[in-house]
A = this chain, B = another copy of it.
Amino acid sequence: MLFFAYRDFTSEPDALLAGQGFGRAHHRVIYFVGRHPGMTVSELLGILRITKQSLARVLRELVDQGFVAQAPGERDKRQRRLSLTSKGLAFERALTERQLTRIAKAYAAAGPQAVEGFRKTLLAITDDPSLGRKGMS
């Protein structure tokens, strides 16, 4: 069930992303950078749990095409704090819109209590539920 839900949940954004030559990996970066503006590369690596080489490719494309901006950290100039450009923000909203529609439909079909149970159970399945505190999806 998780497999099907995840596949269908990502299918609409995937189509949009493909139009830009992007994939699901780009979506994840856009998503997390959008929710944590100013985050560092290593924070992002920690969340995604992938290698920096994997991230680098995706991130470079997003920066090159003007979806994500990098700025040296104030206190620590080694860091590259990441944020979405206005172009990136617009794109993120377009991606999320589809998923919100889907969630809304699920909410309508299953009811608020079911959705609350859904959240709770998803968090319990996940190894590190500390990530779930800020409205991630």
- Which residues from chain A sit less than 8 Å from chain B, CB to CB? 1-9, 11, 28, 49, 102-103, 105-107, 109-111, 113-128, 131-132, 136-137
Contact = CB atoms under 8 A, between A and B. Distances in A.
The 5 closest A-B pairs by CB, nearest first: A117-B117, A114-B117, A106-B124, A118-B121, A109-B124
A125 B137 contact: no
Nearest to A117: B117
List the number of copies, as a whole number.
2
Contact of A120 (B8, B9, B110, B125): B110
A1 B126 contact: yes
A121 B110 contact: yes
Given A2-B137, A6-B2, A118-B118, A125 B113 contact: no
Contacts of A131: 4
Given A8-B127, A127-B8, A2 B115 contact: no
A5 B127 CA distance: 8
Contact of A106 (B28, B113, B115, B125): B125
Contacts of A103: 125
Given A2-B2, A125-B106, A116 B117 contact: yes
